[in-house]
Structure formats: C-alpha cells, structure tokens
C-alpha cells in the first residue's frame, strides 16, 4: 500500500443521527464503504476555535509485545504523552520506528524497557520489530485532547467534549481515500454521527506458529510506511 494512503489523515463527510447518550459524550460509529463495522479507526476532533483544554499527558499508555505481536494494533495518544513498551514474551524484541513524527529504537530486551518513549510531535508513528518483521503496529499522536479509537464493533466514544464547532479527522491503517475536510457542530442535539472510511481490508498481524524464531532484517512493509 502506498505511503500516502497510510500517512495522510482522512477527513470524512458524516451525517447526524439521534441518540440518548448524555451531554458531553460524543460517539462515532465507523464503518467501511460496504457498511461493515470497522475497528482500529482513529477519530480526532479538532476545535475550530481556541480552547483552554489541555492534553492528558499524565495518563499511562502502553504498546505491549505479547505472543509475538504488538498490542494494541492501533494506539492513540495525546501530543507529549509517554508510552511504555513492555515485552511480555520470553523472546527478545527490538522495537523501532523510522517515522517522521518520532524516530526511536529499543534494542533487544525482555520485560520492561529502560524508560518510556515520549511522543512530542503530532502525527503517525509506524512501529516495527527488527527481529520479527511481521510485527507491525501504529501510534497516532493527536494534537487535540478529543480523540478515540474505534473498538471491534466500530464504536468510538469521546467524553467531556464541550459544545462547539470541530473539524473531524479520521485515520485507519487500511484507508484508500482522502476526502475534503469537513466540520461539525457538537451540542446536545448533535452528539452522535456515523462515518464510513474507504478501506481495503487486510489481515492484522497475528502470532506465528509455535517455534517460529527466524531472525529477520527491517521489514519492507515498515520501510514503506515509516514516513
């Protein structure tokens, strides 16, 4: 998949639907163009007017290595957040990223890395393992404090969001399109929407058969999606 399909944020037109959620919570149903529910989609709402809201950088974030895969596949964090990379496997991993938003390297280790990694710049960070090239994951660093990742049912929920006008920014690892930007007004009457993202569905990285231990060089996949 070309780099531009992964790295550019997707801004998608949406339509509003009635809901009974409480004020201050904004929910988004994410589907593909066929109407199937879509997990691992990042929804970021960027206020069009200046706000005094601060990013929750003190929250604990983790990108685990477990059963020889990264978990979660897509992690969203606020700008300035610190992320731990615990290795819960007995196999040593070598975590790295060549992405413009953050370049780093955690050389071969098991257990807890020496220190968390700080993500100061908003953008997309593609994560790989220099030993197991099928291990892939993504960290989306949000510039806004209002963001969420859709679950397996395609639902993303953002709490404590003030009424106002917002730009919708969506992203998914498998996206194919980059529609024109759009804005919405969020209030008690409009606090839910459904969006669809044009994707080419793929298989997420999964644990290899037992005994898989062949060392690999930097994957071609991650090299293509690092910028």
Examine the pLDDT at 212 and tell me if it is beyond 70: no
Per-residue pLDDT band for 7 (boundaries 50, 70, 90) equals very low
Sign of the CA dihedral with 124 first, then 99, 122, and 129 last:
positive
17-62 pLDDT, tens per residue?
333 333 489 999 999 999 999 999 999 999 998 766 666 667 899 9
Per-residue pLDDT band for 79 (boundaries 50, 70, 90) equals very high
Q: Do the bridges between strand 15-16 and strand 93-98 make them parallel or antiparallel, or are there none, so unpaired?
A: unpaired
Examine the pLDDT at 4 and tell me if it is beyond 60: no
Least confident window among 17-31, 123-137, 157-171: 17-31
What is the average pLDDT across 165-170? Answer: 95
Structural domains in the chain plus CATH codes: 3-52+145-197 (2.60.40.10), 61-141+214-224 (2.60.40.420)
Measured from the Cβ of residue 132, the count of other Cβ atoms closer than 10 Å reads: 24
Rg from Cα positions in the chain: 18
Quick one: which H or E segment has residue 185? strand 183-186
Distance of CA 22 to the CA centre of its chain: 25
Contact between residue 200 and residue 34 where contact means Cβ atoms under 8 Å apart: no
Q: What is the pLDDT of residue 216?
A: 37
What residues contact residue 115 under an 8 Å CB cut-off, 6+ apart? none
Q: Which tokens hold the place of 142?
A: 């949000």
Three-state SS at 106: strand
Sheet of strand 103-109, all strands in order from the earlier edge strand to the far edge: 74-78, 136-142, 123-129, 93-98, 103-109
């Amino acid at each position: 998949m070309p780099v531009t399909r992964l790295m550019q944020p997707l801004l998608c037109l949406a339509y509003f639907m009635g809901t009974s959620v409480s004020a201050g919570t904004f929910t988004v149903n994410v589907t593909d163009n066929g109407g199937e529910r879509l997990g691992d989609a990042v929804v970021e709402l960027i206020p069009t007017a200046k706000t005094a809201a601060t990013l929750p950088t003190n929250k604990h974030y983790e990108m685990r290595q477990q059963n020889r895969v990264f978990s979660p596949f897509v992690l969203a964090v606020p700008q300035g957040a610190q992320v731990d990379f615990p290795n819960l496997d007995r196999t040593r991993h070598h975590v790295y990223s060549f992405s413009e938003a953050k370049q780093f390297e955690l050389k071969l280790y098991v257990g807890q890395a020496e220190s968390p990694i700080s993500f100061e710049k908003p953008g997309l960070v593609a994560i790989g393992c220099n030993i197991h090239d099928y291990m892939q994951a993504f960290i989306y660093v949000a510039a806004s404090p209002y963001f969420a990742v859709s679950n397996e049912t395609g639902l993303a929920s953002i709490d404590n969001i003030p009424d106002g006008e917002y730009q919708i920014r969506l992203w998914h690892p498998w996206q194919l399109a980059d529609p024109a930007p759009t804005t919405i007004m969020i209030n008690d009457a409009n606090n839910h929407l459904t969006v669809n993202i044009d994707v080419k569905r793929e298989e997420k990285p999964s644990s290899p058969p037992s005994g898989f231990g062949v060392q690999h060089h930097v994957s071609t996949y991650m090299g293509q999606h690092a910028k």
